[in-house]
Amino acid sequence: MRVVTFDIESATWLGEEGMSDVTDLSIAIVCIHDSETDRYSSYLESELPKLWPILERTDILVGYNSNHFDIPLLNKYYPGDLTKIKSLDLLVEIKNSLGRSLRLDAIADGTLGVKKIGSGAQSLQWWRAGEIDKVRDYCMKDVELTKKLFDYCLAKNSIKYKELGKTQEVKLNTASWLTPASASMTFSMGF
């Protein structure tokens, strides 16, 4: 099963200039890990057409807050419909089990013992200052964290998080995570 773990950094921020919907934003960069090649790659907004053939051949998209943020925003650019690809949003899975949301940083710290290297707001500042490599590194590190967390969940059927100095564990039902979707992807790109 081909799994693409991904993350997006935006070039704009919600609340700016009347933007109130994720699809009002603009993409700065998309970073991915492709399980088929075991490689990481990145795509600036102008390079997104290079990403479409990979997504067209993907069995599952994995992200963190991806159902609410990344997929709707990326779908704005995609000429087809990315919602036809099976997705797994780790934030949704955790919220369904725990009853509330957790920050990626708390999950990474509790499970992997590492912290994120920045924040979305900091990434936007770097982008606006023309520091594209810093944005790319930040986004790529979030993809690496998300992939490691996904792998951990599959192996342990749980995830850990740190809160108020204590490490807690959340049990997760991962049995269907790698089950193929019942409906196949509609190939809208013709490749």
Is 182's pLDDT higher than 80? Answer: no
**pLDDT of the residue at 17:** 60
**pLDDT of the residue at 191:** 43
**pLDDT of the residue at 98:** 95
pLDDT tens digits, one per residue of 107-166: 999 999 999 888 888 899 999 999 999 999 999 999 999 999 999 999 999 999 998 889
**pLDDT of the residue at 43:** 98
User: Contact at 8 Å (CB) between 84 and 183?
Assistant: yes
Q: Which residue has the higher pLDDT, 96 or 183?
A: 96
Give the C-alpha separation, 98 to 172, whole Å.
9
Counting DSSP H helices and E strands in the chain, the numbers are: 6, 7
Give the C-alpha separation, 35 to 37, whole Å.
5
One-letter amino acid at 137 equals D
**pLDDT of the residue at 156:** 97
Best CA proximity match to 109, nearest among 157, 166, 36: 166
Which band of pLDDT confidence, cut at 50, 70 and 90, is reported for residue 12?
confident
Q: Which residue has the higher pLDDT, 17 or 173?
A: 173
Q: What is the DSSP letter of 67?
A: I
pLDDT tens digits, one per residue of 73-113: 999 999 999 999 999 999 999 999 999 999 999 999 999 99
Q: How many residues does the chain have?
A: 191
pLDDT tens digits, one per residue of 17-69: 655 678 888 999 999 999 999 999 999 999 999 999 999 999 999 999 999 99
CATH architecture of 3-171: 2-Layer Sandwich (3.30)
User: Contact at 8 Å (CB) between 181 and 45?
Assistant: no
Q: Which residue has the higher pLDDT, 184 or 44?
A: 44
User: Contact at 8 Å (CB) between 83 and 18?
Assistant: no
Looking only at the bridges linking them, the beta strands covering 3-10 and 27-34 are antiparallel
**pLDDT of the residue at 23:** 86
**Across 174-190, average pLDDT:** 71
